[in-house]
Amino acid sequence: MTPGIAEVLASVHAKAKVLSEALPYMQRYDRQTVVVKYGGHAMGDPGLAADFARDIVLIKQAGVNPVVVHGGGPQIGLLLDRLNIRSEFKGGLRVTDRATVEVVEMVLAGSVNKEIVTAINSQGGKAVGISGKDANLMRAKRLERRWRDPTSNIEQIADLGFVGDPAAVDPHIIDVIIQSDLIPVVAPIGLGPDGETLNINADTFAAALASALKAKRLLLLTDVEGVLDRKGALIKSLTTAEAQALIDDGTISGGMIPKIESCIDVIAEGVEGVVIINGKVPHAVLLELFTEHGAGTLIEQRRRKSVARGAQ
Residue 276 has pLDDT above 90, yes or no: yes
Residue 312 pLDDT level (bands cut at 50, 70, 90): very low
Average per-residue pLDDT for the chain = 86
Q: Tens of pLDDT along 137-193? A: 999 999 877 766 666 667 777 778 899 999 999 999 999 999 999 999 999 999 999
Q: Is the pLDDT higher at 149 or at 112?
A: 112
Could you tell me the sign of the dihedral formed by the alpha carbons of 82, 138, 41, 54, in that order?
A: negative
Other CB atoms within 10 A of residue 295 CB: 26
| Percent of residues, the chain, with pLDDT higher than 70 | 87
| Percent of residues, the chain, with pLDDT higher than 90 | 56
Mean pLDDT of 25-30: 78
DSSP states along 50-113? HHHHHHHHHHHHTT-EEEEEE--HHHHHHHHHHTT-PPEEETTEEEB-HHHHHHHHIIIIIIIH
Q: Is the pLDDT higher at 58 or at 8?
A: 58
Burial class (CB in 10 A: 0-12, 13-18, 19+), 44: exposed
Please provide residue 87's backbone torsions phi and psi, each rounded to the nearest 5 degrees: -95, 145
Q: With a threshold of 0.85, does the pTM exceed it?
A: yes
Both ends of the chain: CA-CA distance in Å?
45
Q: Is-contact 99 85, C-beta < 8 A?
A: yes
Q: Which DSSP category does 311 fall into?
A: -
- For residue 30, the surrounding DSSP H or E stretch is none
Q: Is the pLDDT higher at 79 or at 302?
A: 79
Residue 308 has pLDDT above 60, yes or no: no
Helix, strand, coil fractions of the chain, as percent rounded to 5 = 40, 25, 30
Residue 298 has pLDDT above 90, yes or no: yes
d(CA 185, CA 130): 6
Q: Tens of pLDDT along 226-271? A: 999 999 899 999 999 999 999 999 999 887 888 899 899 999 999 9
Helix ranges, the chain (H): 5-28, 46-61, 73-82, 98-105, 113-122, 172-178, 202-213, 240-248, 256-268, 284-290
Q: What is the pLDDT of residue 149?
A: 64
d(CA 291, CA 296): 12
Mean pLDDT of 41-50: 84
Residue 39 pLDDT level (bands cut at 50, 70, 90): confident
Q: Is the pLDDT higher at 254 or at 67?
A: 67
DSSP lists the bridge partners of residue 237 as: 298
Residue 276: strand, helix, or coil: strand
Q: Is the pLDDT higher at 71 or at 151?
A: 71
Q: What is the pLDDT of residue 307?
A: 45
